[in-house]
Amino acid sequence: MPSSDRPMAGGEQLHHPEAEHRRDGHVHLHVAGGGASEAAKRAATWDRARWAVVMLSTSGSAAVVGSFFFDWWKFWLYAPQYPKGLHLAIALTGVSGDVREVDILNHYIGMQSLANAAPTERQLASYGVAAIAALVIAGALFAGRKLNKLIAIPAFLFPAIFVADSFYWLHRFGHDLDPRAPLKIGTFTPQMFGNGEIGQFATFAQPALGFWLAVTGFFLVAAATLIRRKVCAECKQADTCSTVCPRAMVLPNRKPT
């Protein structure tokens, strides 16, 4: 069978469905399969991107774990009798800094000792950090397409819950004052961001390294999740994938048998 147009008797030509006539008189055939080749290249590119998912999620988990070893929040109190100020550093496991001096001042206005703040949270902090890091890694590796959107939630909730819980304890301590205290001041909630005032003290508060490490961890995991969605969309097992990734994000991209 002829594979392209060529002259026939009587001036007729045999037409090939894939032939294209050019002005130079030559006949050019279109090569089939170009689109499929491009699709294969795209799929291969996104398949390699799964290693970026693993690296980003692992880095995010490492940032979450690292935040456990640093202070999360810092407070300063300034008054004429304390020209250098008093400093408090809040970590996941407790409070450090000028704790004794601040507790003495708190006693005069009827506020509880700082040691009484968030006892349960401090005891469970190490377990919570380990659980969040494990959930992030497990989600990045084993979550199916339907669970992609949930992978970054633990990393987001970690710093968000810390801020909400810290605000709760600050509000509770500033509103649950002993009425028998020597000094009477109105109820208050210490500022968590920027400048504030408590009685004759000016205060300043800001997040510390531990908090920013946790936030960095969330953004790394969020980036991994976005890339992972495209990796899953291009996966050869996308049509059968549900809640569990059959490849564990590291196995070869093969069609299910």
Q: Is residue 141 part of a domain?
A: yes
pLDDT at 19: 47
Q: Is residue 2 part of a domain?
A: no
Q: Edge to edge, what strands does the sheet with 194-198 contain?
A: 94-97, 82-91, 73-79, 201-207, 194-198
Residue 7 in this model has a pLDDT that exceeds 70? no
pLDDT at 236: 82
Q: Is residue 11 part of a domain?
A: no
Residue 14 confidence class, pLDDT cut points 50, 70, 90: very low
Q: Is residue 191 part of a domain?
A: yes
Q: How far apart are CA 20 and CA 178, in angstroms?
A: 93
Number of other residues whose CB lies within 10 A of the CB of residue 224: 27
Q: What is the pLDDT of residues 200-253, one digit of tens each?
A: 899 999 999 999 999 999 999 999 999 999 888 888 888 888 899 888 888 877
pLDDT at 36: 62
Q: Is residue 39 part of a domain?
A: no
> What residues make up the domain containing 171?
53-233
pLDDT at 210: 98
Residue 12 in this model has a pLDDT that exceeds 70? no
pLDDT at 256: 63
Residue 43 confidence class, pLDDT cut points 50, 70, 90: low
User: How many CA atoms are closer than 13 Å to the CA of 131, on its beta-carbon side?
Assistant: 9
Q: Is residue 9 part of a domain?
A: no
Q: Is residue 144 part of a domain?
A: yes
Q: How far apart are CA 87 and CA 208, in angstroms?
A: 13
Q: What is the pLDDT of residues 81-94, one digit of tens each?
A: 998 999 999 999 99
- The structural domain count of the chain equals 1
Q: Is residue 220 part of a domain?
A: yes
Signed CA dihedral, 195, 198, 201, 205: sign only: negative
Residue 4 in this model has a pLDDT that exceeds 50? no
What average pLDDT score do residues 105-130 get? Answer: 95
Q: Which residue has the tokens 């969605």?
A: 229
Residue 1 confidence class, pLDDT cut points 50, 70, 90: very low
Give, in order, the Cα–Cα distances in Å from 96 to each of 8, 30, 55, 103, 180.
97, 75, 34, 12, 28
Q: How far apart are CA 1 and CA 181, in angstroms?
A: 106
Average pLDDT, the chain: 86
pLDDT at 3: 46
**Between 181 and 17, residue with greater pLDDT:** 181
Q: What is the pLDDT of residues 150-184, one digit of tens each?
A: 999 999 999 999 999 999 999 999 999 999 999 98
The percentage of residues in the chain with a pLDDT greater than 90, rounded to a whole number, is 64
* Residue/partner pairs of 248-255 with CB below 8 Å, 24 or more apart: 248/141, 248/142, 249/50, 249/53, 249/54, 249/140, 249/141, 249/142, 250/50, 250/54, 250/141, 253/43, 253/47
